A = this chain, B = another copy of it.
Amino acid sequence: MRTRLLTASDIAKIIRMEDVLEAVEVAFHEHGMGRAIMPPKLYLNLSRFNGDFRAMPAYIQSSAGLKWVSVYPDNPKKGLPTVLAMVIYSDPETGFPLAIMDATELTNYRTGAAGGVAAKYLADPNSKTLGLIGAGVQARTQFLAVTNYFDFSKILIWSPVEEEIEGIKADFKDLPIEKVTIEEVAGCNIVCTTTPVRGFIVKREWIKPGTHINAIGADAAGKQELDPRILKDAKVVVDDITQAKHSGEINIAIKRGLFAESDIYSTLGEIVTGAKRGRTSNEITVFDSTGLAIQDIATARMIFETARREGIGHEFDVIAQHKIRPR
């Protein structure tokens, strides 16, 4: 039995948003059925370096594993991504490590895919305009995911980082992308917020009835992108209640008493399984995404199966032949 190493370039050969969407939708379904096992993320805080690591283990669909992911906001100054991640994908029947894979791209894609699944179930099926607030990597994967389910006539974008907008326009040419004010972006049918801000930048009065919002940026205590009055007026769906309360878009509103756990409508898993209904009227819907270990392990499973089938990667031994004896 050998272990498969999948490097960043191996992953790039395999990963496609359609496949990640399918894997992540199944992950939310299993979560909704109560069949996944996912202990809370464990943090290793290295505040002296302005960074942290998170250990994210999960069991889902006869697959087990762990993502080890770091978040260092100063990395771009050093030419490195803020988020770096590896997955160890293990056999749940023996613990054997089936694969070690680069998971930086996997993380980007699975986060996009959660927004795609949320929009599929919660947005107005006739949505014609997509608004992107923030224009970094997460905006790109939201775009790739959401466009699987809707035909947009207009894509509006706003970001405080001018180069990111130019980058998206250059890479996504032939697409009807327009740079406008944040208020105009917020007026779209589907709005994806992907900024790292710590005070809200999207106002209640900008949001029209029937809008669906993917709130992606807030993924740690103290982060917030939306006016709490949007949460109060919307049907709020979270990926996981415990994580959302601690580190999702709702965390600040809860701390300030502007939103309560009982105001959460459901988890996305409950919507996917049909236990709870999605959109029922011309309401505002918000998906609060924090990122779940089950998304990672379900995506790793798809990547591993593809790699094995297509012979991608480098195999190595993890069980030493040498016996412990005196030298």
Chain A contact residues, CB within 8 Å of chain B: 1, 5, 7-9, 11-12, 16, 37, 39, 42-46, 49, 51, 53, 55, 57-59, 64, 66, 68, 70-72, 75, 78, 80-81, 84, 86, 88, 90, 92-97, 100, 102, 104-105, 108-109, 137, 140-141, 144, 147, 171-172, 175, 314, 316-327
Instruction: Give the Cβ gap from A81 to chain B, nearest Cβ, in Å.
Output: 7
User: Besides the contacts A8-B321, A144-B324, what 7 more A-B pairs have beta carbons closer than 8 Å?
Assistant: A16-B327, A39-B44, A42-B57, A53-B66, A55-B57, A72-B95, A140-B325
- Which of B9, B66, B96, B324 is in CB contact (< 8 Å) with A321? B9
Instruction: Give the Cβ gap from A100 to chain B, nearest Cβ, in Å.
Output: 5
Q: Which residues of B contact A327 (CB under 8 A)?
A: 16
Q: Which residues of B contact A43 (CB under 8 A)?
A: 39
Q: Is A104 touching B319 in the complex (CB atoms < 8 A)?
A: yes
Provide the bound-state CA to CA distance between A46 and B66, in Å: 14
Pick 8 A–B contacts, CB within 8 A, sort by A.
Answer: A5-B314, A9-B317, A75-B94, A86-B318, A88-B88, A105-B322, A171-B325, A172-B325
Q: Which residues of B contact A71 (CB under 8 A)?
A: 95
Q: Is A320 touching B94 in the complex (CB atoms < 8 A)?
A: no
Q: Is B86 touching A326 in the complex (CB atoms < 8 A)?
A: no
Q: Which residues of B contact A12 (CB under 8 A)?
A: 320-322
Provide the bound-state CA to CA distance between A53 and B320, in Å: 20
Q: Which residues of B contact A140 (CB under 8 A)?
A: 324-325
Q: Is A95 touching B84 in the complex (CB atoms < 8 A)?
A: yes
Q: Which residues of B contact A9 (CB under 8 A)?
A: 317, 320-322
Number of this chain's copies in the complex: 2
Q: Is A320 touching B102 in the complex (CB atoms < 8 A)?
A: yes
Residue of B nearest to A12 (CB): B322
Q: Is B44 touching A320 in the complex (CB atoms < 8 A)?
A: no
Residue of B nearest to A137 (CB): B324
- Which of B66, B68, B94, B105 is in CB contact (< 8 Å) with A90? B68
Q: Is A93 touching B39 in the complex (CB atoms < 8 A)?
A: no
Provide the bound-state CA to CA distance between A59 and B45, in Å: 9
Provide the bound-state CA to CA distance between A100 and B327, in Å: 26
Q: Is B37 touching A55 in the complex (CB atoms < 8 A)?
A: no
Residue of B nearest to A105 (CB): B320
Q: Is A42 touching B44 in the complex (CB atoms < 8 A)?
A: no
Residue of B nearest to A83 (CB): B95
Q: Is B320 touching A104 in the complex (CB atoms < 8 A)?
A: yes
Q: Which residues of B contact A80 (CB under 8 A)?
A: 1, 94, 96, 319
Q: Is A75 touching B95 in the complex (CB atoms < 8 A)?
A: yes
> Which 7 pairs of residues, A with B, have the shortest CB-CB distance?
A70-B95, A8-B320, A55-B55, A171-B325, A140-B324, A42-B42, A44-B57
Provide the bound-state CA to CA distance between A192 and B314, in Å: 40
Instruction: Give the Cβ gap from A215 to chain B, nearest Cβ, in Å.
Output: 20
